[in-house]
Amino acid sequence: MGIAGVRGLYLNIEVDSRVPTINALFNEELGIIVEVDQNNVQYVLNEYNTNGVQAKVVGATGQYGMHSEILVNVNGKQVLNTKLIDVFRMWEETSFRVECLQANTECVKQEWNGLENRKGPSYSVTFDPTAAVVKCKSVRVAVLREEGTNGDREMIASLMMANFEVFDVTMSDLQSNKITLDAFQGLVFPGGFSYADTLGSAKGWAAGILFSESLYGQFSHFKGRSDTFSLGVCNGCQLMALLGWIDPAQNTGSVRKTQIFLDRNQSERFECRWSAVKINEDKTKEDVWFRGMDGSVLGVWVAHGEGRFSFAEGQVREALTRNKQVALQYVDDDGGPTEEYPMNPNGSPDGLAGVRSADGRHIAMMPHPERCVLRWQCPIKPPTSYNQANPHSNYSPWMRLFQNAYIWASKQ
């Protein structure tokens, strides 16, 4: 409980004086430990004992942080006095040694050495995440999937909750001319493993577009329209990078050349984590997706093996900053952009997690906002700032991302 909650402990175990200390602390008897608020202690004890379940107070949790104290007494005699970080390292040492054998050793050491200074993410929300958006216009969005896509269901649900008219479209639908992108104002590329990531993530998906004259023309025309917007998440982000939709070049509608790539994670393995990202305050004039969310630090799911942003030339990275195209960055516990593992799960420079097009209408990001638009989808209890206006709201702050896109599109 102390390790998982990153809190100190004060324990006093009362047992028969004839019982050896080691037996008092370690045994296989049935039992549970329940943490309750101090104001409810007597009530909980009475309820258990009234129903024939023996219950007693064994201690209390202490301060938050790796340097908090762990004090253990048996019958009033101190048997352990140490810091949480010391116990934490003993607990984690076996895992650390195993990790060194199956991942990048430098990344594993970064995580191990960083334990002492970890204090938990500093989440903050700079907007009202519960504001409702009234449907005022039908905005048609295509969620485009390819063989191996697996994030389309969550994406469709998120878009529908934001009032979009959503269509499930496959690449074969476009190839057979069953439907064209001219029918849509929005285009979303969901996550997954298209073509099982053969030859690299999204390479097969991108090739199917770039080397098809009819599809290439459709995508070029869609991107070139002034009323369109798009979102690529995870595998969709990798695709948009290969198509050149987020390159720091003039918005000509061309999809032939790319300057940004998503390479293998620095840890050399698939990363599935709950990471903290900051929404960049320095943004393009026309910001379709993150309007009003500037400076917020939010938790979000990441799940990828190739999420490290890299560039064809060194100047490309500087151009992204100059053009205000950096949308999201992985941050440390102080809220600053980081390259340190595991706060940065893939090793992207400057914590880069998402990039927008120069005109702000098209965005590609590795994290999965569609997997945490509802509060119950978050693995932690959201801080108070997550639901300032309505603590009973089912939405997390990430719903605003999709609502912003709907508001912008409905005005075009």
Has residue 215 been placed in a domain? yes
- Within this chain, do residues 216 and 75 fall inside the same structural domain, yes or no? no
Q: What is the pLDDT of residue 254?
A: 46
Maximum C-alpha span of the chain: 85
Is residue 245 predicted with pLDDT exceeding 70? yes
Of 63, 85, 107, the position where a domain reaches its end is 85
Q: Residue 192: CB partners within 8 Å, gap ≥ 6?
A: 145, 146, 148, 149, 150, 151, 152, 234, 235
Q: What is the average pLDDT across 162-191?
A: 97
Q: What is the pLDDT of residue 111?
A: 94
Sheet (strand 69-74) strand order: 59-64, 7-13, 69-74, 77-83
Is residue 263 predicted with pLDDT exceeding 80? yes
The residue assigned the tokens 């984690």 is: 92
- Within this chain, do residues 266 and 376 fall inside the same structural domain, yes or no? yes
Of 85, 103, 126, the position where a domain reaches its end is 85
Q: What is the pLDDT of residue 394?
A: 86
Residues belonging to the chain = 412
Q: Which residues pair with 271 in a beta bridge?
A: 304
- Is the alpha carbon torsion for 195, 198, 202, 207 positive or negative? negative
- Within this chain, do residues 146 and 43 fall inside the same structural domain, yes or no? no
- What tens digit of pLDDT does each residue of 72-119 get? 999 999 999 999 999 999 999 999 999 999 999 999 999 999 988 888
Q: What is the pLDDT of residue 180?
A: 97
Q: Of 344, 343, 324, which Cα lies nearest the Cα of 281?
A: 324
- Within this chain, do residues 162 and 270 fall inside the same structural domain, yes or no? yes
Q: What is the pLDDT of residue 252?
A: 47
Note the Cα 23 to chain centre separation in Å.
43
Q: What is the average pLDDT across 267-292?
A: 91
- Within this chain, do residues 157 and 72 fall inside the same structural domain, yes or no? no
Q: What is the pLDDT of residue 255?
A: 45
- Within this chain, do residues 172 and 284 fall inside the same structural domain, yes or no? yes
Has residue 113 been placed in a domain? no
| Lowest-confidence segment of 157-166, 253-262, 286-295, 401-410 by average pLDDT | 253-262
CATH for 147: 3.40.50.880
Q: What is the pLDDT of residue 282?
A: 81
Q: What is the average pLDDT across 173-187?
A: 97
Tokens coding 69? 């104290």
262 is in which domain, residue-wise? 140-410
Return the SS3 of 351. Answer: helix
Looking at residue 306, the DSSP 8-state letter turns out to be: S
28 is catalytic: no
Q: What is the pLDDT of residue 387?
A: 55
Q: What is the average pLDDT across 299-320?
A: 94
Q: At what angle do helices 235-243 and 203-210 cross, to 10 degrees?
A: 40
Has residue 223 been placed in a domain? yes
Please count the helices (runs of H) and the strands (runs of E) in the chain: 12, 15
Of 43, 68, 85, the position where a domain reaches its end is 85
- What tens digit of pLDDT does each residue of 225-236 get? 999 999 999 999
Is residue 328 predicted with pLDDT exceeding 70? yes
Strand 297-304 with 271-279, pairing: antiparallel
Whole-number Å distance between alpha carbons of 412 and 360? 15
CB 89 within 8 A of CB 115: yes
Q: What is the pLDDT of residue 388?
A: 54
Q: What percent of the chain has pLDDT over 70?
A: 95
- Within this chain, do residues 175 and 256 fall inside the same structural domain, yes or no? yes
Q: What is the pLDDT of residue 307?
A: 98
Whole-number Å distance between alpha carbons of 184 and 143? 10
Averaged pLDDT of the chain: 92
pTM: 0.89
The total number of structural domains that make up the chain: 2
Q: What is the pLDDT of residue 385?
A: 55
- Within this chain, do residues 274 and 173 fall inside the same structural domain, yes or no? yes
Has residue 406 been placed in a domain? yes
368 is catalytic: yes
Q: What is the pLDDT of residue 314?
A: 84
Has residue 97 been placed in a domain? no
The DSSP result for 229-271, as a single string, is EEEEETHHHHHHHHHTTT-SS------S---EEEE--TTSS-E
Task: Please calculate the CA angle 244-245-251 and round it to the nearest 5 degrees.
Answer: 105
Is residue 136 predicted with pLDDT exceeding 90? no
- Within this chain, do residues 161 and 283 fall inside the same structural domain, yes or no? yes
| Identified catalytic residue from 234, 237, 372, 378 | 234
Return the SS3 of 332. Answer: coil
221 is catalytic: no
- Within this chain, do residues 221 and 343 fall inside the same structural domain, yes or no? yes
Q: How confident is the model at residue 189 (pLDDT cuts 50, 70, 90)?
A: very high
- Within this chain, do residues 310 and 164 fall inside the same structural domain, yes or no? yes
Has residue 134 been placed in a domain? no
Has residue 296 been placed in a domain? yes
- Within this chain, do residues 358 and 226 fall inside the same structural domain, yes or no? yes
Q: What is the pLDDT of residue 119?
A: 84
Check whether the bond before 342 is cis (ω within 30° of 0): yes
Mean pLDDT: which of 23-27, 133-137, 354-358, 387-391 is highest?
Answer: 354-358
